[in-house]
Amino acid sequence: MIKNLVRTFGALSLALVPLLSSPAAHAAAPAVFAAEVTTLADAVGLVKVTEEDRTGYTRSSFKHWNSGEDASDGCNTRAEVLIAEAVVAPTVEAGCKLTGGTWTSYYDGQEVTSAGSLDIDHMVPLAEAWDSGASAWTAARREAYANDQGSDVSLVAVTARTNRSKADQDPADWMPPAPEAQCRYVGEWVATKLRWGLTADDRELEALKVYAEGPCEDTIVRYTPAAWPLVR
């Protein structure tokens, strides 16, 4: 199955909202942001640097998985991401049970034929997001972050082994084991940080610069700032 077009091209497109007729509806509508496209080196330069602080973090601070983009389909965010990223579409049975299907885990290049063997990885892990600014967000914004399907790089289906090896580490301490995946990974990491206005610590930023100024200098970063909820 070809990736869902929204996920495939979402980072390249302008954010779209329904046309709203009444002035009150317009006043309540979230802001619309255009996609940003830049080099990896310039993107890294846009990430603000601060010290990280994990005080108060719990995974339950980020509600997931919720009912996903389509609350009527009976599938949660995890299942919707699996359906969207399948190379060969799975069969969706009652209760959104997925059978069959094929996926490619880009972190390690493995082909996977069982949805249960995959994890949905938060590109920037929840703990790292908390350290980098999400501790100051509202619960609604943290839920939006944890279930973000508005960008095709925020959530990614990968083998459970690689996801658990990564855990909550940033690129200073963990990179995908497949060398050919690393420039893509760094670009998507930075795109996610910029999309959500997250910061980096000194070690993380230095690691990103090594890739941006070396093997990944030709990598292009595309991101659209998250529009909702706007209140931190």
| Whole-structure pTM value | 0.85
Identify the three-state secondary structure at position 221: strand
Residue that is written with structure tokens 């930075």 in the block: 190
**Rounded Cα–Cα distance for residues 81 and 78 (Å):** 5
Residue that is written with structure tokens 């909702």 in the block: 228
Reading the block at residue 219, the tokens are: 């990598």
**Rounded Cα–Cα distance for residues 119 and 78 (Å):** 8
Residue that is written with structure tokens 């990430």 in the block: 47
Reading the block at residue 87, the tokens are: 């190379």
Reading the block at residue 182, the tokens are: 């690393």
Identify the three-state secondary structure at position 5: helix
pLDDT of 18 > 60? The answer is: no
User: What letter would DSSP give residue 7?
Assistant: H
> β-strand 118-122 against 220-223: which pairing, if any?
unpaired
pLDDT of 232 > 80? The answer is: no
pLDDT tens track for 127-173: 999 999 999 999 999 999 999 999 999 999 999 999 999 999 999 99
pLDDT tens track for 34-90: 899 999 999 999 999 999 999 999 999 999 999 999 999 999 999 999 999 999 999
The separation between CA 154 and the C-alpha centre of its own chain, rounded to angstroms, equals 1
**Rounded Cα–Cα distance for residues 134 and 62 (Å):** 9
Reading the block at residue 95, the tokens are: 């209760």
pLDDT band of residue 228 (cuts 50, 70, 90) is: low
**Rounded Cα–Cα distance for residues 129 and 197 (Å):** 10
β-bridge partners, 110 = 105
Range name among 9-23, 39-53, 111-125 with the lowest pLDDT average: 9-23
Residue 98 host element (H or E): strand 97-99
Q: Return the closest-CA partner of residue 154 out of 232, 228, 63, 81.
A: 81
| Rg of the chain (C-alpha set) | 18
